[in-house]
Amino acid sequence: MVIEETIAAVGPRLRALRLKRDVTLVALAEATGVSASTLSRLESGQRKATLELLLSLSTFYGVTVDDLVEAPPVGDPRVRLKPVTAHGRTYYPLSRRPGGVQAFRTVIHSGETQPSPRTHEGYEWLYVLSGRLRVVLGDTDIEIGPGEVVEFDTRVPHWFGRVGDEPVEFLSLFGKQGERMHVRATAAAP
């Protein structure tokens, strides 16, 4: 429904609601503080509804302003975090809480194959979903595959990249303040 049609339908909708609730214009005017003539012009379409009028009427009827005007749906209300692609890698943020541990899904499509280790404050945990990931931690150089995990202090010189020509996809949990992952398991009942 286009905006003009929505606005044009407000008056008749308000009149129908008032009649359904068996309320006179005078009684509605007394309850809302809006004059009966203003309400009459509003219902007949001779006056456009203002937010102030709609708020008074929605309070009286016990409905939302959206219900009064039958606002068109706004679509999917979820906020979607945008992926970032740089240097052959795509980072998909999975969390948006400031501070604390941050979660990412990362895909390395291409990019550098020669390690260039870096350091920074924090702690990181990597879980490979698909492909093979080369992880260089100080003097250690390993490859991990799907279902394997590494956890390390990011103050240790580190680098990671794909193995071979296939992309590698992994989950990353990173804590800037050096938070470690806490894995808890319970024994299965016999």
Give the chain's mean pLDDT.
86
Longest dimension (CA), the chain: 85
pLDDT tier at 157 (50, 70, 90 boundaries)? Answer: very high
pLDDT at residue 60, as a whole number: 87
What does the CA dihedral 81, 111, 102, 119 come to, rounded to 10 degrees?
A: -150
Tally: H helices and E strands in the chain: 5, 9
| pLDDT at position 96 over 80 | no
CA-CA distances (angstroms) from residue 118 to 2, 91, 140?
Answer: 54, 18, 14
* Residue 185 structure tokens: 């398991």
pLDDT at residue 87, as a whole number: 87
CA-CA distances (angstroms) from residue 101 to 28, 138, 148?
Answer: 54, 23, 20
**Total-model pTM:** 0.54
More confident residue, 126 or 99: 126
Query: How confident is the model over 136-146, as pLDDT tens digits?
Result: 999 999 999 99
CA-CA distances (angstroms) from residue 143 to 77, 158, 167?
Answer: 41, 13, 14
CB of 133 within 8 A of CB of 144? Answer: yes
| pLDDT at position 167 over 80 | yes
Average pLDDT of 42-53? 90
CATH architecture of the domain formed by 84-175: Sandwich (2.60)
Domain map (residue ranges) of the chain: 3-69, 84-175
CATH architecture of the domain formed by 3-69: Orthogonal Bundle (1.10)
pLDDT tier at 42 (50, 70, 90 boundaries)? Answer: very high
CB of 152 within 8 A of CB of 137? Answer: yes
